[in-house]
Amino acid sequence: MVAYSSSIDFWCPKISRLLRLGTVFGTPKYCVMRSYRKWRTHKKSTFFSSSTLDFCKGSDKNIVLEGFILDMKIIKVLMLGDVIGNPGMEQLYIKLPQFIKKENIDLVIANGENSDNGFGITEEIIDRMRGFGVTVITSGNHIWSNQDAEALLNHYDFVLRPHNYYDSPGKGFWIGEVAGEKIAVVNLIGRYFITPVDCPFQILEKLLRKELRGIKNIIVDFHAEIMPEKKSLAYYFDGKVSFVAGTHTHVQTADDIILGNGTGYITDLGMCGGLDSVIGMEKKGILHKIRRNVNVPYVPSNENEKMQGIIIDLNLDTGKTESIQRFSM
């Protein structure tokens, strides 16, 4: 017999009867209801209670009922804040593989521009991140800090630099496939209080018209300094991209939201590293620099280390964000 929850009686008695009579041939991780005549998509919170959805967790197969098929339509995307030096890499080593397994993550995106002692990235770090389960590595203005940046960006197509750097090595977008659907990750950088670059709005519009044309599922890492620029980009492309996540400031914000046309947004993902710090660096050096206006070496902090980011439920049929879950662990 099919696994059954009495709470479905309240929502739809007809489906309840089908569930009592139907036979299950495997269970998908997430599902929506489809009739043989047409698709009908229901949000989990609208149609099923959480207890009812218990029977939907499991393998990737379909549930076949009399007259209905339940298909997997939603994937889980994990986005990590800026990884700060060895403390950040240690957090990924300790926590990320188990977290991916526990949360059934399908795609992992991490910003790696600060992973090499706070500035840039190396080939060794790229290989380690991939080993931890990271699918795509995004970056920002510090990607150029390593002397091998050009070679690395040209060699690894999953290591991105902001796409609005004009005529630069590598590229700022990645296209892959998850659960049989194309998905794209775009890396952009802001123009306020950062090195002058091309307009991120115009560059993203061009990508949507050309390279990303026809792709519904698009996630943007917008590496920018100020909230108004980040949120303006999200509102401008609401309904045209799936999610806009801010990076660069290393402070996780509590303003995650799904906009009117289905685009998810957060001003900053936070960071992976020591929170008892100034943007991930040891306090002593930063205070010395700010108080006396002298250059001192920045050292990544290992005090109160955390891994921060978000989990996105992404609807592959619509390209819209269904839910956002922040974490700091």
Catalytic residues: 142
Name the helix (H) or strand (E) containing 89.
helix 85-103
Query: pLDDT in tens for each of the 329 residues of the chain?
Result: 333 333 433 444 434 333 433 333 333 333 433 332 233 333 333 333 333 344 444 434 344 443 444 454 899 999 999 999 999 999 999 999 999 999 999 999 999 999 999 899 999 999 999 999 999 999 998 999 988 999 999 999 999 999 999 889 999 999 999 999 999 999 999 999 988 899 999 999 999 999 999 999 999 999 999 999 999 999 999 999 999 999 999 999 999 999 999 999 999 999 999 998 988 888 888 898 889 888 888 889 898 999 999 999 999 999 999 999 999 99
Quickly list DSSP for 268-283: ---EEEESSSBTTB-H
Q: What does the pLDDT look like over 173-197, one tens digit per residue?
A: 999 999 999 999 999 999 999 888 9
Cβ contacts of residue 293 below 8 Å, gap of 6+?
none
**Are 268 and 310 a contacting pair, CB within 8 Å?**
no
pLDDT digits (tens, 9 = 90+) for 141-150: 899 998 899 9
Decide: 266 and 245 in contact? Cβ < 8 Å. Answer: yes
In whole angstroms, give the CA distance from residue 6 to residue 141.
54
130, 133, 221 from 144: Cα distances, Å: 20, 24, 17
Domains of the chain: 15-72 (no CATH), 75-328 (3.60.21.10)
pTM: 0.79
Q: Where are the beta strands (DSSP E) in 171-249?
A: 173-178, 181-189, 217-223, 243-247
